Amino acid sequence: EAGVAQSPRYKIIEKRQSVAFWCNPISGHATLYWYQQILGQGPKLLIQFQNNGVVDDSQLPKDRFSAERLKGVDSTLKIQPAKLEDSAVYLCASSLIVRDEQFFGPGTRLTVL
Amino acid sequence: EDKVVQSPLSLVVHEGDTVTLNCSYEVTNFRSLLWYKQEKKAPTFLFMLTSSGIEKKSGRLSSILDKKELSSILNITATQTGDSAIYLCAPSGSARQLTFGSGTQLTVLP
């Protein structure tokens, strides 16, 4: 069974530029999560989707971050404009609706200069 | 606000030692507690605990949940260098959302 796929793996941008990350969840997983993990901290939830609807985006900085999950499968997370403090690893995870276990993709390491 | 505290923050041991990692939590609508191992980037799932007092085992790793004390421990016996990683504790609460602790950085020296 294929795992969660993410791209790109690494991205370096300058502040005020925009960036987008892509995630393809495990087949059949209706729930998809985006997390931000800053060095030395645990992952912090940004947004949770179930199918193509948003369950919770209360921790998403909506002035600069946006996310969508068209057709209830792939998802993209965008940052525009980026700030220095956005430097982090962005993790995507997916799960079955009826299960607590989440399975993570390899993440995208974003460096904002 | 949901809260998770892991201790110790870091631990350095030698191969063959046994280690115990601690996790305490305060989570609304608690459902279960999950442990993950993080090497390099992606956290990988280790255990999910839902019932108090029932130990889950996988090889040299074991874990137990105490719902009365709102805590869990992860034990690793006969540690190996390949066990070096960050171990993350994450209780599941409302909407099956996970709240992660900052993790315990385990280093196993040969």
pLDDT over 70 (residue A1): no
Mean pLDDT of all residues in A86-103: 93
Say if the Cβ atoms of A109 and B90 lie within 8 Å.
no
Note the pLDDT tens digit of each residue in B1-42.
889 999 999 999 999 999 999 999 999 899 999 999 999 878
The answer to whether residue B30 neighbours chain A at the CB level (below 8 Å) is no
**What is the per-residue pLDDT for B51?**
85
pLDDT tens per residue, range A29-53 = 999 999 999 999 999 999 999 998 9
CA distance A112 to chain B (A): 18
End-to-end CA distance of chain A: 37
Q: What is the reported pLDDT for B104?
A: 98
Please write the tens of the pLDDT for every residue from B47-75: 999 988 889 999 999 999 999 999 999 99
| Cα gap B10→B105, rounded to integer Å | 4
pLDDT of residue B96: 86
pLDDT at A29: 94
How many A×B Cβ pairs under 8 Å? 54
Per CB-CB distance under 8 Å, the chain A contacts of B103 are 42
The b-or-e profile of A55-77 (16+ CB within 10 A means b, else e) is bbbeebeeeebbbebeeebebeb
* Rounded Cα–Cα distance for residues B43 and B59 (Å): 19
> Which of A102, A103, A106 is the closest to B41 by Cβ?
A106
Which A residues 40-99 touch B at CB under 8 Å? Answer: 40-45, 48, 55-56, 89, 91, 95, 99
- B-chain CB neighbours of A94 within 8 Å are none
* Residue B3: other Cβ atoms inside 10 A: 12
Map tokens 């196993």 to a residue.
Answer: B108
B76–A contact, CB cutoff 8 A: no
* Nearest beta carbon to residue A106 from set B32, B42, B45: B42
pLDDT band at B89 (very low <50, low <70, confident <90, very high): very high
Among B32, B42, B103, the residue with its CB nearest the CB of A100 is B32
Q: What's the gap in Å between the CA of A94 and the closest CA on chain B? A: 11
B97·A56 Cβ contact <8 A: yes
